[in-house]
Amino acid sequence: MYRKQVRRRRAVLVGLIVVSLVLLSTQFSEAESGPLHTVQRGVAAVLSPVQEVAERALKPVRDMVDWFDETFDARGQNEELRTEVAKLRAQLAAAEQAQSENDQLRKLVNLDRDSPADLTAYEKVTSRVIGRPSTVWYSTVTIDHGSGSGVELDDAVITGDGLIGRISEVTGGSAQVQLVTDHENAASAKVLPDGPEGIVEPEVGDPDDLVLDFINSQDAVEEGQILITAGWSNPKVSSAYPFGIPIGSVTDAQTDAIDTNQRVEVKPFADLRNLEYVQVLTGGPERPGVDR
């Protein structure tokens, strides 16, 4: 019984294939006015209104499907654009950071050439600032080199813009820099070109500015004049800093009618709030009164 059904189905399939081939062959070979073409046109004429109605009925559905497809495609493209923007932003930040570091290191190289200081006798340890104070009184920073790199107490510390302070604490792999704006720090300074010498100290109440003290009211000091470290020395005591390191420029000089000294305000050259790279001046000549 089963075999008869299989043979019957095979016979029907073969018959349908033969009929299809015959109809196709006849359609391609007969003229446009032939019976098959006529039947085809009649069926198309009958079904055309139905097809148009179905087309109109299904258009909203098809439009909705297209809208979803386009929406998902747009979201995918938007996500790709966000990723690309984030990538470009990161690359830009890295490039700007590299440029900033390059500018700072170039300034350090140029300081020897452009300043009066002769720093050839010192070993320079270039360091990165790794710690900053959390208060407005910007008095110390921590750097990533210490005694293991030859850094010692009281070594002068500079940037490409000039003096920032001296080493106040040392460990094997790090050190603390006491900035010139620390109230316990002071530096002997000279006004260029041929001005007087005095002591640079932090401005009371202003963590960003300095004051040049002990300048006689008779000494001419003008706005814009540059201060450098005096680097004085005698057989018993020496300045904490070598001669000629730029400190800052005079922003104001006032004479008090009662006091015999001038009040000279100074703006540091170095941006003490945005330090990234510094150099520690290690070694150098012996200075009386300064522990090595």
Per-residue model confidence as pLDDT tens digits over 123-177: 999 999 999 877 666 789 999 999 999 999 999 999 888 999 999 999 999 999 9
User: Taking residues 208-234, what's their average pLDDT?
Assistant: 85
Instruction: Report pLDDT for 105.
Output: 57
Instruction: Report pLDDT for 25.
Output: 58
Instruction: Report pLDDT for 285.
Output: 78
Query: Coil, helix or strand for 47?
Result: helix
**Contact between 266 and 286 (Cβ < 8 Å):** no
Instruction: Report pLDDT for 173.
Output: 93
Ranked by mean pLDDT, the top range of 7-21, 127-141, 173-187, 193-207 is 173-187
Ranked by mean pLDDT, the top range of 1-5, 40-44, 104-108, 153-157 is 153-157
DSSP state of 149: G
**Distance between CA atoms of residues 66 and 26, nearest Å:** 40
The reported pTM is 0.62
User: Taking residues 24-39, what's their average pLDDT?
Assistant: 56
Pick the CATH number of 122-283 from 1.20.210.10, 3.30.420.130, 1.10.10.10, 2.40.10.340: 2.40.10.340
Please report, rounded to a whole number, the percentage of residues in the chain having pLDDT higher than 70. 58
The torsion angles phi and psi of 30, rounded to 5 degrees, stand at -80, 165
138 CB burial (10 A radius; 0-12, 13-18, 19+):
middle
Q: Is the pLDDT of residue 253 over 80?
A: yes
Q: Is the pLDDT of residue 292 over 90?
A: no
DSSP state of 233: B
Domain definitions of the chain by residue range: 2-63, 122-283
Ranked by mean pLDDT, the top range of 3-7, 62-66, 152-156 is 152-156
Q: What is the pLDDT of residues 66-122, one digit of tens each?
A: 676 677 677 667 777 777 776 766 666 565 555 555 665 566 566 555 556 678 888
Angle at which helix 2-29 crosses helix 35-114, to 10 degrees, equals 90
Q: What is the mean pLDDT of the chain?
A: 76
Ranked by mean pLDDT, the top range of 17-26, 32-41, 180-189 is 180-189
Q: Is the pLDDT of residue 259 over 80?
A: no
Work out the number of other CB atoms within 10 angstroms of the CB of residue 190: 22
Beta pairing partners, 180 = none
Instruction: Report pLDDT for 34.
Output: 57
Please report, rounded to a whole number, the percentage of residues in the chain having pLDDT higher than 90. 25
Q: Is the pLDDT of residue 191 over 80?
A: yes
Query: Residue for token digits 């010692």?
Result: 152
Query: Coil, helix or strand for 101?
Result: helix
Instruction: Report pLDDT for 71.
Output: 72
Instruction: Report pLDDT for 167.
Output: 95
**Distance between CA atoms of residues 65 and 147, nearest Å:** 71
Instruction: Report pLDDT for 255.
Output: 76
Least Cα distance to 268 among 176, 194, 166, 158 occurs for: 158
Q: Is the pLDDT of residue 29 over 60?
A: no
